[in-house]
């Protein structure tokens, strides 16, 4: 997990907003692959500011302490609260390899992050994980959590869902 106040400049010139979203979503997929290479679950999230700087990257943090609350989006939201100004959070986008669960959507809401883009839907993730003891996936669309709040959180997804799903093939079969 990294927080860089200066912001690492990523490619900032995109033909349109869809291309920008695809670029940063694939960035989150790459971090998710890194998470799995590090012995963790294949999930990741990144926070990108309005100018296209990657402010925070987080891999899933289940291991080494078996912390079932260390979902990547929750880690990003917590780090954003302690290191990123509220006005920047409000115009930032969190890109997540999979749809935020109820806990993570709550954390994103409390962090005041203005927009979420996700790859794999929670419903489809649940088809992969089943009732796996390390990841008994919830079944509550993040839009429902955000809709219950008092400030707007924009949501886009699922996007690039087959690429996002590929991260989970064979992972939860044991
Ligand atoms: Zn979560």
- Say how many Å lie between the CA of residue 12 and the centre of ligand 1: 28
* Res. 70: pLDDT tops 90: yes
28: which strand partners? none
Neighbour tally for 144: CB within 10 Å: 10
- Cβ atoms of 120 and 99 within 8 Å: the answer is yes
- Say how many Å lie between the CA of residue 119 and the centre of ligand 1: 14
User: Catalytic one among 6, 11, 51, 73?
Assistant: 73
- Say how many Å lie between the CA of residue 97 and the centre of ligand 1: 11
Question: What is the structure's pLDDT at 10?
Answer: 55
Confidence of residue 1 (pLDDT cuts 50, 70, 90): low
DSSP symbol at 132: -
Pairing mode, strands 93-98 and 53-59 = unpaired
- Say how many Å lie between the CA of residue 15 and the centre of ligand 1: 31
Q: Coil, helix or strand for 128?
A: helix
Question: What is the structure's pLDDT at 5?
Answer: 46
DSSP symbol at 35: H
* Res. 6: pLDDT tops 90: no
Work out the burial of residue 29: count CB atoms within 10 Å of its CB; fewer than 13 is exposed, 13-18 middle, 19 or more buried. Answer: buried
Distance between CA atoms of 64 and 56, rounded to whole angstroms? 21
Pairwise pLDDT comparison (105 vs 8), residue with the higher score: 105
Torsion of CA 54, 60, 65, 67, to 10 degrees: 110
State pTM to two decimals: 0.93
Task: List, for residues 81-130, the tens digit of each pLDDT value.
Answer: 999 999 999 999 999 999 999 999 999 999 999 999 999 999 999 999 99
Whether 161 is catalytic: no
Closest Cα to residue 163, out of 47, 69, 23? Answer: 23
Task: List, for residues 17-66, the tens digit of each pLDDT value.
Answer: 999 999 999 999 999 999 999 999 999 999 999 999 999 999 999 999 99
Confidence of residue 13 (pLDDT cuts 50, 70, 90): confident
Task: List, for residues 140-173, the tens digit of each pLDDT value.
Answer: 999 999 999 999 999 999 999 999 999 999 999 9
* Res. 3: pLDDT tops 60: no
Average pLDDT over the chain, rounded to an integer: 94
| Upstream peptide bond of 158 is cis (omega within 30 degrees of 0) | yes
Region class of 3: left (phi > 0), else alpha (psi between -120 and 50), else beta:
beta
Distance between CA atoms of 60 and 68, rounded to whole angstroms? 10
Question: What is the structure's pLDDT at 61?
Answer: 98
């Amino acid at each position: 997990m990294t927080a860089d106040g200066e912001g690492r400049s990523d490619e900032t010139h995109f033909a349109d907003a869809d291309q920008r979203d695809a670029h940063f979503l694939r960035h989150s997929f790459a971090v998710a692959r890194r998470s799995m290479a590090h012995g963790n679950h294949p999930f990741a999230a990144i926070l990108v500011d309005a100018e296209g700087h990657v402010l925070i990257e987080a891999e899933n943090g289940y291991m080494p302490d078996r912390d079932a609350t260390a979902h990547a989006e929750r880690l990003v939201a917590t780090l954003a609260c302690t290191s990123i100004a509220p006005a920047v959070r409000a115009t930032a986008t969190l890109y997540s390899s999979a749809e935020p669960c109820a806990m993570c959507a709550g954390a994103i809401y409390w962090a005041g992050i203005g927009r979420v883009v996700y790859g794999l839907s929670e419903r489809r993730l649940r088809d992969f994980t089943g009732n796996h003891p390390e990841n008994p996936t919830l079944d509550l669309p993040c839009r429902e959590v955000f809709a219950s709040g008092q400030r707007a959180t924009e949501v886009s997804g699922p996007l690039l869902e087959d690429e996002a799903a590929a991260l989970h093939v064979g992972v939860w079969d044991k």
